[in-house]
Amino acid sequence: MCGIIGYAGSIRAAPILTQGLTNMEYRGYDSAGVGIHDGRQISIKKDTGKIDEIKERLGIDSLNGNIGIAHTRWATHGKVSQVNAHPHTSCESKVTVVHNGIIDNYQKLRINLETAGHLFISDTDSEVIAHLIEDNFKSSGDYRSSIIAACEVLEGSFAFVVIFKDNADTIFGVRKDAPLILGIGKNENFIASDILAFIKKTDEVIFLENFELVEVSKDSYQIMSLSGEQKIRESVKVAWEASDISRKDFSHFTLKEIHEQQNTIRQSLNQNTNILNDFCDILGNSNKIYIVASGTSLHAGFIAKQLLARVVKIPSEVVIASEFISYADLIDSDSVILAISQSGETADVLDAIRTAKGRRGKIISIVNTPGSSLTRESDQVLFLNCGPEIGVAATKSFTSQLAIIYQLVLILSGRTQDIAELTNISNLVPELLSKEEEVSKICDTFASNTDFYFVGRGLNFTIALEGALKLKELAYVHAEGLAAGELKHGTLALIEEGTPVIVLNPDDETYYETLNNASEMKARGAKIIGISNKPNPIYDYHLQIPTVDRIFYPILEVIILQFLAYYGAISRHHNPDYPRNLAKSVTVK
């Protein structure tokens, strides 16, 4: 989703800002722009398309000026167009703004401002911010208070960075329910929605809290509350492999991240014992556990629920984060909310945990991104430790989530002797990676098919859901994940000659029943792609996986499915790193 960055320093801002935007490309965007203050005026350059092309076409990097702001836009209000791209400016071009979030009451504010004579040129919600600040500035003549007064009437979520024509030294940033981070450098400072925007320049950061305003020049910064009270905040060093954002020799980040899983699974298991035990105490002592997540992280949540039930014998509910409000009345001080999120910034998840917190629920989280809003708003956190995930499709973060869930479940059930087998799972990853070429050939065979079905039972059903999500996301084909037993209750009607069906069928207690379902589909013309440690003539294609304890199959199966989605995209000539319409970090509801 939208990425924002502001720079105040002693060298030219433009190349630093465009590099920052490139580092945030993975978040997903459709247009980009910069506003650079050259000491006299602010030049705005923006357009639709890719950052590299826009930068070249508009000559952005040669703009002069040592302060500026920049933005990647993921359209929410107003179509993808040059005029709707950020930055936005006010009528008299005195105020220039980049914004991430959604201003819920923008229509009302816009009407009021238009009635007062303001002229709008875009269809965005964000433009109201610039006009509001300009309006306030006219009466107060004060930068901070004009921003604060604007914040007082804005409803919704926002993080924005502002520069003023009459102030060539300072950038201002403010946040409410959208991330904003101050990066502290030497003779230069940054404000951005993402550490990756400036990580090559500084690893010293302050994560701004909701309703904080920061005023930044090249050699100083001040943080204050929206009531004007000064805040003293300690900076922290981001001790993360955060600067590891290169593709290395891989053709795409997604492929690199699939290949990294031998290491990342191992890293995720390397947890602080006290925190692990604390998690286990909290989970083990509650009979009101709600697991909350979205997308792929939600699938990790389903695995957690099944394992808690089958292995630990404790009940839990999985709630889709965006649907949490329907369950809010059940939350009280005995409730535990286990939030799972790669980014820690998913708006639906944050909204859910804030609702639960308001009802005194305890929040524990499994998160990848250090310093993210979810980590700061949780009572206890386990980190995935899998490094930045740049590909929009969640790959290594999912297997890391599973690894941590397994670890918790084994401790909770007293099966600590099985942790050695869990640790050994990472050593099996190369065997799965060796299937890459086989999977890519299968994808070429089915490159013109438009409907795919993924089936499995038990834990494998959840992996069927994940495989289907991944294929939809990267290859833009219809894909459905189903409990194998449900087929005959309806979906079997869609199976016809040549329909590809991916059958997740490890040799566990579900093996023969799932095989029967595969036979039923094959009898109706389906092409069966079996993912199993046990070959069978029913499979038209068989992708062999290693034999492990039955609870660990998901973590192995999914790696094959990640390849299937990746090569599904490649065989259709799509870029798997930047699937259309999607954003890595979904910071709006």
Residue 584 annotated among the catalytic residues of the structure: yes
CA distances from 167 to 41, 65, 228, 387, 502 (A): 9, 12, 20, 38, 60
Q: Which of 84, 90, 157, 341 binds ligand M6R (CB under 6 A)?
A: 341
- How would DSSP label each residue in 245-296? ---TT-SSHHHHHHHTHHHHHHHHH---HHHHHHHHHHHHT-S-EEEEE-HH
In Å, how far from its chain's centre is CA 175? 19
Binding mask 455-484 for ligand M6R (x = CB under 6 A): --------------x---x-----------
Nearer to ligand M6R, 188 or 577 (CB): 577
Binding mask 347-376 for ligand M6R (x = CB under 6 A): --x---------------------------
Provide the token pair at 266: 């191992």
Nearer to ligand M6R, 29 or 511 (CB): 29
- Candidates 87-95, 241-249, 342-350, 484-492 — which segment interacts with ligand M6R by CB under 6 A? 342-350
For the bound state, the minimum distance from the C-beta of residue 24 to ligand M6R, rounded and expressed in Å, comes to 15
- By beta-carbon distance, which residue lies closest to ligand M6R? 295
Q: Which of residues 388-407 bind ligand M6R (CB under 6 A)?
A: 392-394
For the bound state, the minimum distance from the C-beta of residue 318 to ligand M6R, rounded and expressed in Å, comes to 14
Nearest Cα to 362, choosing from 286, 274, 300? 286
- Candidates 3-11, 312-320, 335-343, 522-530 — which segment interacts with ligand M6R by CB under 6 A? 335-343
The CA distance from 7 to 216, in Å, is 9
Binding mask 499-528 for ligand M6R (x = CB under 6 A): ------------------------------
For the bound state, the minimum distance from the C-beta of residue 350 to ligand M6R, rounded and expressed in Å, comes to 9
The CA distance from 141 to 138, in Å, is 6
For the bound state, the minimum distance from the C-beta of residue 159 to ligand M6R, rounded and expressed in Å, comes to 17
Q: Of 55, 218, 472, 584, which one is the catalytic site residue? A: 584
Q: Which of residues 116-175 bind ligand M6R (CB under 6 A)?
A: none
Q: Which of 48, 66, 294, 514 binds ligand M6R (CB under 6 A)?
A: 294
Query: Going by C-beta distance under 8 Å and a sequence separation of 6 or more, which residues neighbour residue 247?
Result: 253, 256
Q: Of 2, 151, 386, 443, which one is the catalytic site residue? A: 2
Residue 2 annotated among the catalytic residues of the structure: yes
Q: Which of 43, 84, 343, 532 binds ligand M6R (CB under 6 A)?
A: 343
For the bound state, the minimum distance from the C-beta of residue 332 to ligand M6R, rounded and expressed in Å, comes to 25
Contact 340, 300 (CB under 8 A): yes
The dihedral through the CA atoms of 439, 443, 444, 445 has a sign that is: positive
For the beta carbon of residue 329, count every other beta carbon within 10 angstroms: 8
Nearer to ligand M6R, 118 or 259 (CB): 259
Residue 295 interacts with ligand M6R (CB under 6 A)?
Answer: yes
Residue 286 interacts with ligand M6R (CB under 6 A)?
Answer: no
Residue 3 interacts with ligand M6R (CB under 6 A)?
Answer: no
Nearer to ligand M6R, 122 or 562 (CB): 562
Nearest Cα to 309, choosing from 397, 405, 232? 405
- Measured in Å, how far apart are the chain's first and last C-alpha atoms? 11
Nearer to ligand M6R, 9 or 388 (CB): 388
Q: Which of 84, 296, 373, 510 binds ligand M6R (CB under 6 A)?
A: 296
Query: Going by C-beta distance under 8 Å and a sequence separation of 6 or more, which residues neighbour residue 333?
Result: 360, 361, 362
Nearer to ligand M6R, 66 or 397 (CB): 397
The CA distance from 369 to 364, in Å, is 15
Query: Going by C-beta distance under 8 Å and a sequence separation of 6 or more, which residues neighbour residue 261?
Result: 395, 396, 399, 426, 429, 559
Q: For the range 54-61, what are the long-range contacts, defined as Cβ-Cβ under 8 Å and sequence gap of 24 or more?
A: 55/18, 60/14, 60/18, 60/34, 61/14, 61/15, 61/18
Q: For the range 373-376, what are the long-range contacts, defined as Cβ-Cβ under 8 Å and sequence gap of 24 or more?
A: 373/179, 373/344, 373/345, 374/339, 374/341, 374/344, 374/345, 374/346, 374/349, 374/350, 375/344, 376/207, 376/209
- Candidates 107-115, 187-195, 292-300, 567-575 — which segment interacts with ligand M6R by CB under 6 A? 292-300
Interface with ligand M6R (CB under 6 A): 294-297, 341-343, 346, 349, 392-394, 469, 473, 586
Residues annotated as part of the active site:
2, 584
